[in-house]
Structure formats: structure tokens, C-alpha cells
């Protein structure tokens, strides 16, 4: 631990075609797919070699003609228009291995590449134990085994093992700072953080992302007529294009992604709460960034949670928000400087680029979003609207950076007089923070970096009740579920429409179905103008029929249980900004908190479980520092081993080369998912060509059109009478329907098979 006591305009500015431009008219439905461009010329560069000569521009993306020809050959008919004059190379930087070998102890690695460990086997044992999650006591017990004591290891206790790990080449150093506050607190506000710019540099330079990162904003257009715009990754958005146009020519746009959320470390054992801040890079492609196992999000800071000694509880929340913005200002200060004047960073191929780091996305739930943009509760964080207008069926004016700062400038009272300041903020529906963290971050505007978030804004809004499970034997009823997983919410959404169909009024079913259509379409990875129109139509249809729900008293308060006659729901108003967000930030699904929730398990909960349950923050930081050292050391030693064998030095184009010895194959083995994703379409096709009798019959995986079905070999119900099925699933005409089917198709039908047994 270490203790730590305006850009010029682009001469070739271009404008990005807008989704709402007249030239973009609705088109026939397009297939929903994840667009992967051909490999960049840089991607073919050996990640073990140096970069391009000084002054040359790197063509990170293929030319438009090449892209169009390739896409047309694939039957996709799409064209890509890249922003001109970006990503110039200003010299040779440092590839991952070169940066790694600049460590203090690198001289010893020339003799022993696995220093401070004795050998490769010694390192393998250490790496396993360090990443096993075992406590130091359990590791000491392991070393006391007779078999382990007979092994030629360079360490024999958990303490010796940890000391060796401390000698490994480090990543961004962890620091701490005691944050001074104007109001007294019960405990010290200690901020644990890392240099945010170093975290971005680490992601930008990592060899695994060589073929998974975009450097240039682009417009994705369908067909040669260029009449339909597609939005997918952030680099395909209008905001990315607009930001690049405001940067000097030849620079590289590195979009910063942040995420924060309060979370419990312990349950029923003290209720310890922490507030982690995650950092990522928007240039990393969506499919890679949204996989927690690929470590595209780094823990940048653990925000302090102080207990203020103010007599009014509401004022304590005011001071909490001020403390958060003050700490966030400290953490992101290097990113703000880089966003103003730029910063030279090395990409994975060793090319030195002039990078700018504006804030492009902040993933947060609704209360966190309101706190970030300094507005009160029951106020939209992105629109100029309060709770009384949440039910409106149209989009309101955006609550921009300039508007908030202008409103704050009208408040002239003493900033330390919390109660008076809070009262004067009421007229503008502002919260209490007088210095928002984004106030001096160039190109960073709340309506642009706050995107609709699928987990909380869509799935969370749908779930307004807990399932009733068990018997009511208690005076106040059974204990309700405090937390319901996102999987449960998604599962209920899948079958809610057919369940209520026929039982609920027609207009109510239409309204619920419209909401389901909205959520389903908005989660597409690629959204065209036609899909965008359908999203808006679905939301408009819901607003048209929503009063059928309130008229029947079907909407009730969560606490009172009384019927509600209004739609003053913040997440409902958030849906009005989905259409605009698609063009500004790309597909909303890439900003879902599902992935950050999984990252919290890896970077907070798992490390906390290995501590002694005292001083969680410092031990979490030490644990993560150790894990990152191990992953980086494993990557470096395996790449170095490949380099020394001569494969990377001169035989990279050898047709007889073993694919498993390629650098990217080694990186995939270390970083990528170990469990492959099954392709059920390919499985179904292969089953059709197998020899009869070689597989169980009937086939349980088959395709119908664009849908693949996979049935369980061991069904939960193995034998049941037809009348019982009709009763269980409320299908009174099941037997007549089967009889009618057999009467018409029986002589020709050959797909009747028995499953299971008595």
C-alpha cells in the first residue's frame, strides 16, 4: 500500500447520420445478431513484437469497400463508415511483455523466468494455492501433510507463500487517503483507491483484448442504399462520433465506463456494507466486456461509508452524497486531466497513441443515478420532470450538465449550512451536492452517460411483489423475500402474458403484452431503425391501455396494499429515454448491471470471505492485488516461454505450427471461458446425419425454422394420464384436441413416442 496524503476542434469534423434523420426511414425487420468486423490489420501484428514506425497511421479498421464486399459475401449487405483521421501512431510504446520486464527483479528472471519461485512446478503450486481462496490457516495445514513436505518447494508456510507473491511484478498500486470532512463523523472516512488512468492503461494495453477492441467510431448501415442505421457497440453510437469530432485530428477516443452500487459484504453477521467503484473501457467490444470471467471491469476504489453525527437523519444522507462526490473526484482526477489534454498510451501491439478519456457510461440503479446527477428522489435523473409527470406518454426535455450547474449557481448560502442549503435546493429539485464530480470532466454530460439499465429499470420494475410461499402461521404473515434474483424476474416475464390471457380484461392483457414487447426488443444486441420504431410503438401502446389496469384496481402500493390510481413510477418515465439512448450510447443491453453484479462477487464478496472479518477494505485490496499479480505473471511467463521456443520469433506464419502454441491460443486458455457455449443449431443438424440406431430415438434436439428445441432426456413427469394433464394445466379441451388431431393426421403421423416409464 502507498499512502497518498479544452481540446481543439477536429479540422476534419464529420457528422454522424442520426437515427431520427429523414434519410433513415423504417425498413423490413433485420436479423438480430452480434456484428464482428474482420480482424484489424493491427490484430495480425505479433503481440510479442514492437509497434509501428513513428508517424504512421494505423488502419485499425478495414476500408469501407472491403467491409461492404465481405459483408455482402456473407449475405448481410451492410456497410461500415469509419470516422476519418483517427488513431495516429506517435511512436513505439511498450507491449505487455516489455512493460512486465521493467520490474525491479527482472534481472533475476533472466536466469530463472519464474522468479521469485524456484521453477515452473513451484510456480504452479503457488498459483493454485494463492487463487484457491483458502485461508492462511488452511494453507498451513496443507503444508503439514507428509506428502507435501516431501516436495521440493521454495515455501513451506502460508506467510512465506504470501511474501513470495508480494515480489511479483505489480499492477496499478493501491493507495489510501483519509478524507477530511467539514462535519464530524463517528469513524474516519478512509478511501482505498487506485490511479484510474493506470487502470484504463492496463485494459488498453492488455494482450488479450488485441482483437476485441475498437479504436475508431463508425456508422453501421444496412444495404447499399444506406437508408437504415444500426446501433450495437458504443463505438457505433452518435455520441462516440460526436466526441471524436471534438478531439484533435489523429487522436484516439478511449471511453471510460464506471459503475458503483452499495452492497452487503456480510448478512446476519454485522451487516457490513461497502461501496465499490468499477472501471472499464467502452472500446472493448460488448461481447467481451459483458463477461465477468474476462476481467474487463477492474475495481478502482472502495468508497468510504462514514457515520455522520448530525441530529437529523435526512441531513446525514446529504453529507453521504457529498462525501461520495468528493471521493469520486479524487479517484477520477487523472482521467479528467487526460480528457482535457490527452495521454499517450500503448495499445496491445505496442503502438503509442494520443488518447482522450471522457466518461461515456455510468452503470447504476435509479437511487444511485439520482445521487450521481444531484437530484432529489421522485425526480428523473436524465429529464426535466418530477414524479407528477412520470405517467406522461412523451419524452421531456433533457436535464443537461449546463442546466444543473446553472441551477447550483443560483444558490448563494453557506455551503456548510447543510439544512439551509438543502432548503434552497428544493425549488430546483436538486439534492444537496454543490460540486458534482462531472462538473469539470470534458465531454461528459449526464444524459449521455446515464443509460437505461435493463436489470433495474426493466426487470426490476416488472417485479413489484414477492411470491407467496409457505403457510401463514404468524400474526404479521410469513417473512417476505428480501432479494429476488434477476433470473426469477426474467422467468416470470416469459410466461406472464399466456398466464393472464383469458382471465384478465383484454385491454389489461394488451398493456402487459406491450411492456413485454418493449423489454424484449430493447434487449437486442443490434437495433435497427425498424426495431427502434417498434420499441416506441410498444411503449405508446402501453400508455394507451395502461388505465385499464388502474381502473380495475390491479396496481397496488408495495407497503399499503391499497389500489393506486396513478402511474408515478420513476422507472416508467425512464422508458421514455430508451429510444434516444439507443442512438446516443448504442444497444442498452451492454449497460446492464447483470455483469457488474457478477463482478462484485469476484472483486468484493469472494475476497471478503477469505479475510478475518476485520478491516475488510484493506484486506480486499491486498487480496485483489495478489490475484491480479498471479494472472499477469501467468500470462507473462507463458508468453515468454513461447517467445524463447522460437515460435513467436520467426515461425508465426509456419503452416505446420501447432494452433495451441499461438499467443492468442495461450491467452484464450488463461483468460477465456473454459466451458464452451453449445451451438444447438449445429447439434441438431449433425443429429440428422448420424446412422440409425447409433443414438437414442426420438431425437431430443431438433430445429423448426429459426428456433431450436432441446428436450430433457429425463423429464420431471415421466408418466401421466391425459385427463390429469388437462386438469393440472387448465386445458379442458386437451382430449378432444388430441382426438381431432389423430382423426385427421393419425394415418400419416409417425412422431408418436413414449418418454420415461411407469
Comparison of pLDDT for 507 and 387, the residue scoring more: 507
DSSP letters spanning 627-663: HHHHHHHHHHHHHHHHHHTTHHHH-TT-TT--GGGSH
* pLDDT for the residue numbered 257: 96
**DSSP tag of 310:** -
* pLDDT for the residue numbered 151: 93
187-199 per-residue burial string, b: 16 or more CB within 10 A, e: under 16 = eebebbbbbbbeb
* pLDDT for the residue numbered 663: 59
CA count, 13 A, side-chain hemisphere, 31: 8
First to last CA, the chain: 66
- Inform me whether the pLDDT recorded for 269 exceeds 70: no
Q: State the angle between helix axes of 506-522 and 486-500 in degrees (0 to 180), rounded to the nearest 10.
A: 140
Rounded to two decimals, the pTM is 0.77
The lowest-confidence range among 167-171, 238-242, 646-650 is: 646-650
Q: Which helix (H) or strand (E) is 6 found in, with range?
A: none
Q: What is the mean pLDDT of residues 173-196?
A: 91
pLDDT band for position 419 (50/70/90)? confident
Residue 367 to residues 187, 371, 456, 710, Cα–Cα distance (Å): 25, 6, 10, 41
* pLDDT for the residue numbered 268: 54
* pLDDT for the residue numbered 442: 94
Residue 302's DSSP bridge partners are: 192, 276
Tell me which residue has cell 523466468. Answer: 113
How far is Cα of residue 694 from the mean position of the Cα atoms in its chain?
43
Q: State the angle between helix axes of 578-585 and 238-245 in degrees (0 to 180), rounded to the nearest 10.
A: 50
Q: What is the mean pLDDT of residues 106-115?
A: 86
Q: Which are the contacts of 232, defined by CB distance < 8 A and separation ≥ 6? A: 34, 35, 220, 286, 525, 526, 527, 586, 587
The C-alpha atoms of residue 308 and residue 187 are separated, in whole angstroms, by 8
pLDDT in tens, 223-242: 656 678 889 899 999 999 99
- Inform me whether the pLDDT recorded for 128 exceeds 60: yes
Q: Which are the contacts of 109, defined by CB distance < 8 A and separation ≥ 6? A: 101, 103, 115
- Inform me whether the pLDDT recorded for 3 exceeds 50: no
pLDDT in tens, 552-566: 777 777 677 777 777
| Omega cis (within 30) before 308 | no
The lowest-confidence range among 63-72, 192-201, 526-535 is: 63-72
* pLDDT for the residue numbered 43: 40
pLDDT band for position 456 (50/70/90)? low
Q: What is the mean pLDDT of residues 724-728?
A: 87
Q: What is the mean pLDDT of residues 136-147?
A: 93
Answer for the pair 718, 757: CB distance below 8 angstroms, yes or no.
Answer: yes
* pLDDT for the residue numbered 528: 87
pLDDT band for position 50 (50/70/90)? low
The lowest-confidence range among 487-501, 646-660, 733-747 is: 646-660
330-360 per-residue burial string, b: 16 or more CB within 10 A, e: under 16 = bbbbbbbebbbebbebbbbbbbbbbbbbbbb
- Of 20, 113, 80, the C-alpha closest to 583 is 20
Mean model confidence pLDDT for the chain: 78
- Inform me whether the pLDDT recorded for 353 exceeds 80: yes
Answer for the pair 645, 106: CB distance below 8 angstroms, yes or no.
Answer: no
* pLDDT for the residue numbered 215: 93
pLDDT band for position 675 (50/70/90)? low
Q: What is the mean pLDDT of residues 242-262?
A: 95
Domain ranges of the chain: 1-98+172-357, 104-168, 365-450, 456-582, 628-674, 680-745
- Inform me whether the pLDDT recorded for 98 exceeds 70: yes
pLDDT band for position 576 (50/70/90)? confident
Comparison of pLDDT for 202 and 479, the residue scoring more: 202
* pLDDT for the residue numbered 9: 40
Comparison of pLDDT for 224 and 452, the residue scoring more: 452
Comparison of pLDDT for 224 and 585, the residue scoring more: 585
* pLDDT for the residue numbered 10: 43
Amino acid at each position: 500500500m502507498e499512502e497518498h496524503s479544452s481540446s481543439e476542434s477536429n479540422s476534419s469534423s464529420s457528422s454522424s447520420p442520426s437515427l431520427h434523420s429523414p434519410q433513415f426511414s423504417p425498413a423490413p425487420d433485420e436479423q438480430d445478431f452480434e456484428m464482428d468486423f474482420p480482424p484489424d490489420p493491427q490484430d495480425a501484428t505479433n503481440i510479442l513484437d514492437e509497434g509501428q514506425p513513428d508517424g504512421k497511421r494505423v488502419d485499425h479498421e478495414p476500408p469501407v469497400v472491403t467491409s461492404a464486399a465481405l459483408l455482402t459475401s456473407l449475405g448481410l449487405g451492410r456497410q461500415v463508415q469509419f470516422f476519418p483521421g483517427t488513431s495516429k501512431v506517435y511512436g513505439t510504446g511498450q507491449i505487455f511483455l516489455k512493460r512486465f520486464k521493467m520490474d525491479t527483479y527482472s534481472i533475476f528472471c533472466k536466469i530463472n523466468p519464474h522468479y521469485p519461485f524456484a521453477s515452473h512446478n513451484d510456480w504452479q503450486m503457488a498459483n493454485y494455492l494463492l487463487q484457491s481462496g483458502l485461508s492462511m490457516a488452511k494453507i498451513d495445514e496443507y503444508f503439514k501433510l507428509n506428502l507435501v513436505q516431501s516436495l521440493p518447494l521454495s515455501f513451506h508456510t502460508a506467510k512465506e507463500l504470501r511474501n513470495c507473491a508480494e515480489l511479483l511484478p505489480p499492477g496499478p498500486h493501491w493507495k489510501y487517503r483519509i478524507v477530511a470532512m467539514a462535519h464530524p463523523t463517528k469513524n474516519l472516512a478512509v478511501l482505498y483507491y487506485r490511479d484510474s488512468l493506470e487502470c484504463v492503461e492496463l485494459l488498453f494495453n492488455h494482450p488479450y483484448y488485441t482483437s476485441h477492441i475498437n479504436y475508431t467510431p463508425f456508422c453501421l448501415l444496412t444495404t447499399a442504399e444506406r437508408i437504415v442505421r444500426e446501433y450495437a457497440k458504443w463505438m457505433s453510437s452518435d455520441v462516440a462520433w460526436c466526441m471524436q469530432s471534438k478531439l484533435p485530428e489523429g487522436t484516439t477516443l478511449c471511453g471510460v465506463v464506471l459503475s458503483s452500487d452499495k452492497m452487503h459484504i456480510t448478512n446476519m453477521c454485522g451487516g457490513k456494507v461497502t461501496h465499490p467503484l468499477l472501471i472499464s473501457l467502452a472500446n472493448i467490444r460488448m461481447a467481451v466486456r459483458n463477461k465477468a470471467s474476462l476481467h474487463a471491469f477492474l475495481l478502482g476504489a472502495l468508497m468510504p461509508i462514514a457515520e455522520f453525527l448530525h441530529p437529523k437523519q435526512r441531513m446525514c444522507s446529504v453529507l453521504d452524497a457529498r462525501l461520495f462526490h468528493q471521493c469520486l473526484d479524487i479517484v477520477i482526477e487523472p482521467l479528467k486531466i487526460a480528457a482535457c489534454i490527452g495521454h499517450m498510451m500503448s495499445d496491445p501491439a505496442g503502438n503509442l497513441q494520443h488518447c482522450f478519456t471522457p466518461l461515456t457510461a455510468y452503470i447504476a440503479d435509479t437511487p444511485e443515478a439520482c445521487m450521481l446527477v444531484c437530484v432529489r428522489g421522485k425526480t428523473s435523473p436524465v429529464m426535466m420532470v418530477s414524479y407528477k409527470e412520470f405517467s406522461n406518454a412523451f419524452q421531456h426535455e433533457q436535464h443537461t450538465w449546463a442546466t444543473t450547474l446553472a441551477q447550483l449557481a443560483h444558490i448563494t448560502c453557506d455551503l456548510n449550512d447543510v439544512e439551509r442549503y438543502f432548503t434552497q435546493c428544493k425549488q430546483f429539485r436538486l439534492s444537496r451536492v454543490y460540486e458534482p464530480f462531472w462538473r469539470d470532466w470534458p465531454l461528459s454530460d449526464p444524459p449521455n452517460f446515464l443509460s437505461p439499465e435493463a436489470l433495474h429499470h426493466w426487470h426490476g420494475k416488472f417485479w413489484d411483489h414477492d411470491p407467496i410461499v409457505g403457510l401463514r402461521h404468524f400474526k404479521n404473515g410469513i417473512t417476505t423475500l428480501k432479494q429476488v434474483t434477476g433470473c426469477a424476474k426474467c422467468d416470470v416475464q416469459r410466461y406472464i402474458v399466456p398466464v393472464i390471457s383469458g382471465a384478465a380484461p383484454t385491454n389489461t392483457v394488451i398493456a402487459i403484452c406491450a411492456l413485454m414487447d418493449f423489454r424484449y426488443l430493447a434487449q437486442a444486441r443490434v437495433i435497427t431503425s425498424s426495431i427502434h420504431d417498434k420499441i416506441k410503438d410498444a411503449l405508446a401502446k402501453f400508455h394507451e391501455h395502461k388505465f385499464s389496469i388502474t381502473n380495475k384496481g390491479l396496481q397496488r402500493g408495495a407497503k399499503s396494499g391499497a389500489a393506486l390510481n396513478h402511474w408515478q413510477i420513476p422507472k416508467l418515465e425512464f422508458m421514455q429515454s430508451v429510444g434516444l439512448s439507443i442512438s446516443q450510447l448504442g444497444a442498452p443491453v451492454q449497460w446492464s448491471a447483470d455483469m457488474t453484479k457478477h463482478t462484485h462477487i469476484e472483486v468484493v464478496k469472494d475476497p471478503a470471505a477469505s479475510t478475518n472479518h476485520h478491516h475488510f477494505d484493506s484486506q480486499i485490496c491486498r487480496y485483489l492485488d495478489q490475484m491480479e499479480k498471479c494472472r499477469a505473471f501467468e500470462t507473462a511467463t507463458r508468453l515468454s516461454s513461447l517467445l524463447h521456443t522460437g515460435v513467436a520469433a520467426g515461425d508465426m506464419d509456419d503452416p505446420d505450427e501447432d494452433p495451441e502454441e499461438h499467443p492468442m491460443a495461450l491467452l484464450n486458455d488463461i483468460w477465456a471461458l473454459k466451458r464452451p457455449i453449445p451451438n444447438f443449431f449445429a447439434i441438431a443438424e449433425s443429429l440428422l446425419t448420424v446412422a440409425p440406431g447409433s443414438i437414442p430415438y426420438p431425437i431430443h434436439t431438433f430445429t423448426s425454422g429459426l428456433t431450436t428445441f432441446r428436450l430433457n432426456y429425463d423429464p420431471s413427469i415421466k408418466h401421466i394420464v391425459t385427463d390429469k394433464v388437462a386438469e393440472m394445466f387448465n386445458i379442458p379441451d386437451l382430449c378432444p384436441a388430441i382426438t381431432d388431431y389423430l382423426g385427421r393426421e393419425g394415418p400419416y403421423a409417425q412422431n408418436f413416442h413414449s418418454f420415461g416409464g411407469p
